[in-house]
Amino acid sequence: MLTDRYGLTVSTASTAARDFYVEGVDLLFSGNAGPGDAFERAIAADPEFALAHVGKARASQLRGDMAPARAAMEQAKRYAAGLPPREASHVAYYDLVLSGQGDAAIAAAKAHLVTWPRDAMVLSPCTSVFGLIGFSGHSGREQAQVALLDGLATHYGDDWWFNCQHAFALDETGQRDLARPKIERAMEQNPRNAHGAHIRAHVYYEDGEMAAARDYLTAWLPSYAREAQLHCHINWHLALCELTLGNTDAAWQRFDDAIDPTVTVCPPLIVLADGASFLWRAELAGGARDTARWAKVHDYAHKMFPRSGVAFADVHAALADAVTGDQSAIETRLRELDDLRRDGRLPSGPLTPAVTKGFAAFLRGDWNATIAAIAPVFPEHERIGGSRAQRDLVGFTLLKAYLNADRLDDVRDMLRCWRPGPGEPLVDGVAR
């Protein structure tokens, strides 16, 4: 019987199909270009290879191409009859993932991994800040991800992909001393692993080592394909490094070359979040507003996320609406969020509406209303999803509102409670 890279049997008699499948999984796990093509080659070698169809569905989903993702998933289910229990469970799990049943998928993954802990393709959607747990909207989701990976570590040993994801989870919970050796080891094992380079940038960020991050990413990026999943986001990290270091021209060059939504081809959620957050952080740092760049992000938000429902997208779209003065869009979004919350379909609870209202108040110049909206929910702001570095957008906004309202005791209290490592928040006026 043929097996995958993790020693699990796969139901295909074609060595070529198995090899292409393994290649596709590694391309997915490393964030490099071409996983969908590798899965297509696996399917060409064995059209009834159900797990290859699942891989194709997952690759399409991560690109934001949901129609082909669902079509591939239907093909996987078509060939699932008679599969061994592990592969049948694998297909059923991905059916939950692709149909948006996040909590059910997390439960299914945990049950599956008890019996087959090395099924990395089942574990993968539960990892990272953009995964099922990361976007669950639950309080304590950072610790939940660490607990899951801690419990599986002995099964993966010195695997480069697992080392990456374990490092990220540890870093997000402040365990930087444990995260750093894991990510360093992962990058020794697979230097062209884009997820690893990305996670290494987070470790640098949380340690306040922006010059080291800039030097590392500047050297790593040139050979990374523009069409690959993380091209925009790694450039976002690099642009933030340049902004923090005072190299504003270099930061804007990065934005225009790789983050601007009219030029990047990366997944829509990354493009929206990176575009809006960089523009806003540049303003909070003291930069002038660029209305033309904001207009592009606003238009992209309404094209790619016309309705509410994904908290991380909603808060960034709301920010673009507020900056561009699209009050009608803000009111529509708040109504949609209220409807979702009333129907029990807003996992982040009050977080998304509160942050939306806070951004709108800030852009009106109503500092106290900004504080009243954001401050009560800020202790649980992890529920909107994304990394600590990304969610600093919310914290920096609250901090700037305190400054503008001349509530200096609140500024000092907030700075005293700021997590150690990243250094002073990049907000104009904090030093004064």
Residue 423 pLDDT more than 90?
A: no
Q: What angle (nearest 5°) sits at the alpha carbon of residue 185, between those of residues 183 and 191?
A: 85
Q: Is 44 inside a domain boundary?
A: yes
What pairs with residue 9 in β-bridges?
3
Q: Are 342 and 302 contacting, i.e. CB atoms less than 8 angstroms apart? A: no
Q: Is 24 inside a domain boundary?
A: yes
What pairs with residue 3 in β-bridges?
9
Whole-angstrom distance, CA of residue 387 vs CA of residue 175: 14
**What sign does the dihedral 376-381-383-385 (CA atoms) show?**
positive
Residue 432 pLDDT more than 80?
A: no
The helix/strand count (H/E) of the chain reads as 22, 0
Enclosing domain of residue 46: 15-126
Locus of tokens 């929206």: 272
Q: Is 20 inside a domain boundary?
A: yes
Q: Is 154 inside a domain boundary?
A: no
* Mean local confidence (pLDDT), 262-269: 97
* Number of domains comprising the chain: 1
* Mean local confidence (pLDDT), 292-318: 97
| pLDDT value at residue 420 | 86
Share of the chain above pLDDT 70, in %: 100
Three-class SS state of 3: strand
pLDDT 10s digits, 63-93: 999 999 999 999 999 999 999 999 999 999 9
Computed on alpha carbons and rounded to an integer, the radius of gyration of the chain in Å comes to: 22
Q: Is 70 inside a domain boundary?
A: yes
**What sign does the dihedral 272-275-278-279 (CA atoms) show?**
negative
Q: Is 167 inside a domain boundary?
A: no
CATH number reported for the structural domain that contains residue 64 in this entry: 1.25.40.10
pLDDT 10s digits, 173-199: 999 999 999 999 999 999 999 999 999
Q: Is 83 inside a domain boundary?
A: yes
